Structure 1
Amino acid sequence: MLPLFPLQAVLVPGAVMGLRVFESRYLDMVGECGRSGHGFGICLIAEGDEVGAPAVPAEFGTEAVIEDFGTDDDGLLTLRVRGERRFRVLATSVRDSGLVEARVEWLGEVPSVARLRPEHALLGTLLERIFDQVGRPPGADGSIEDAVWVGWRLLEMLPMPEERRAAMLGVDDPHKRLDGLLELIG
């Protein structure tokens, strides 16, 4: 079972996200992840809130691997996590602590590297312009020629409803993901 951290935000593969952890169920989860060396899942909240009663997660999410941790000025635990593997939630259960866990199906990338097609060249150019304006995100090492990498970086950086971002996590084919991004900006 994969412990989940449901949020009002989506983590995509390769993206970095900062988290503030203060609820005991998530503090315990972070401790377990540290001891086991495993990550946890981040899913968009389909129903509920980030704090309080356990939220219902969206169908797709991304494994979060802890890269760094610390405390902020008010003593809360802070994490820097990076998105790794995508997954589909098959079933959930809730621990006595209120932590949601999921049985998941890990989703592969088909293919893991794909050359950017001519019909998607505009998206590569758009990503280069975004990087020119705001810089590359931390650890965003990849090629503008790689359809998989371009798709994930645009999904990370373009403004869009989080529900749409979460749905696009479920798209296995990187070219279909780019087609969806073209529709979004078109």
Structure 2
Amino acid sequence: MLPRPLSQYATNPVAYNQEHSSSASAPGDRVSSLIALFPLEVVLFPGTPLPLHIFEPRYKEMIGECLAHGSTFGVIRALEQGVSDVGCTAEIVTVTKEYPDGRLDIVTEGRKRFEVLHLNQERSFLRAEVLLIEDEPGIPAKEETARAVQLHSEILTMAGAIQDLSAADQAVLSFYLAGSLPLDLDFKQKLLALRGETQRIAALTQYLEAVLPKLRRSAHAREKAGGNGHAR
């Protein structure tokens, strides 16, 4: 479904609600209260950290309220027209710096996925009535998970990076793997919306297997370039 401008949601919120309320809601999903939204050109996964610099007055107001009440807010991908249908709540883990003019540096972490049911523009910042998303039952085969971890490790090695997965929640391991890689945002958004870890591990494995050949060629070219910056 193509996204619509926020202005259209505001003038016809019922239509938005009707179109999205039937979109594969699982029996275990729970209805949340109205939450604040922070549209960004990112896709946040549960368990993934997200540092933010808060400088716009409306978001200083929003974050101030979250800090005062200990509440979360929703991070949702901003599109050319409107926002995505699925986002992730973010908890403020720490305030790393406060500026004299009210700006803030904060570190947040993804918590719960949600589906937008109804957008609300009554405040200076965007809010939404959302449906919290719960995974469907099912555990991927160990072989499938091991393959995804292997591909992930190879990509990190080529980038000269490592990631400790010992503390990762195995029920949502796919989010830890995808969250540490600079993957295509469209794919990340698709992964965020999938309702089971088996589906996500399969999708992530397929995606990484598709991009790895190009990454290997690029890494090989860099090795051949040596110190002169040109492949021989």
| TM, length-normalised to structure 2 | 0.66
Where structure 1 has 5 or more consecutive residues not aligned to the other structure, the ranges are 49-55
Cα 1:84/1:123, change in 2 over 3 Å: same
Contact map agreement 1:127 1:150 (CA 8 A) in 2: no
Q: Distance in 1 between matches of 2:116 and 2:64?
A: 23
Cα 1:140/1:4, change in 2 over 3 Å: farther
| Structure showing greater relative contact order (alpha-carbon pairs closer than 8 Å, 6 or more residues apart) | 1
Contact map agreement 1:13 1:86 (CA 8 A) in 2: yes
User: Which structure has the greater CA radius of gyration?
Assistant: 2
- Counterpart AA for 1:33: C
Q: Distance in 1 between matches of 2:175 and 2:204?
A: 10
Q: Distance in 2 between matches of 1:73 and 1:101?
A: 26
Of Structure 1 and Structure 2, the greater helix share is in 2
Cα-to-partner distance string for 1:30-52 (whole Å, 9 max, x where unaligned):
1111122110000111235xxxx
Where structure 2 has 5 or more consecutive residues not aligned to the other structure, the ranges are 1-33, 210-232
Matched, 1:10 2:10: no
Contact map agreement 2:151 2:208 (CA 8 A) in 1: no
Aligned-residue RMSD, C-alpha? 2.5
Cα 1:7/1:46, change in 2 over 3 Å: same
Contact map agreement 1:114 1:174 (CA 8 A) in 2: yes
What is residue 54 of structure 2 aligned with on the other side?
A: 21
Q: Distance in 2 between matches of 1:183 and 1:128?
A: 15
What is residue 194 of structure 2 aligned with on the other side?
A: 171
Mean Cα deviation higher: 25-34 or 87-96: 87-96
What is residue 63 of structure 1 aligned with on the other side?
A: 89
What is residue 119 of structure 1 aligned with on the other side?
A: 144
- Counterpart AA for 1:13: P
Contact map agreement 1:70 1:78 (CA 8 A) in 2: yes
What is residue 53 of structure 1 aligned with on the other side?
A: none
Aligned pairs for 1:1-186 within 5 A: 1-47=34-80, 56-71=82-97, 76-97=103-124, 99-111=125-137, 114=139, 116-129=141-154, 133-136=160-163, 141-142=167-168, 146=170, 148-186=171-209
- Counterpart AA for 1:38: S
Of Structure 1 and Structure 2, the greater strand share is in 1
Shift of 1:120: 3.4
Shift of 1:109: 2.5
Q: Distance in 1 between matches of 2:162 and 2:100?
A: 30
- Counterpart AA for 2:52: L
Cα-to-partner distance string for 1:58-99 (whole Å, 9 max, x where unaligned):
1111100000113378963111000000001111011342x1
Q: Distance in 2 between matches of 1:126 and 1:72?
A: 40
State the percentage of identical aligned residues: 25
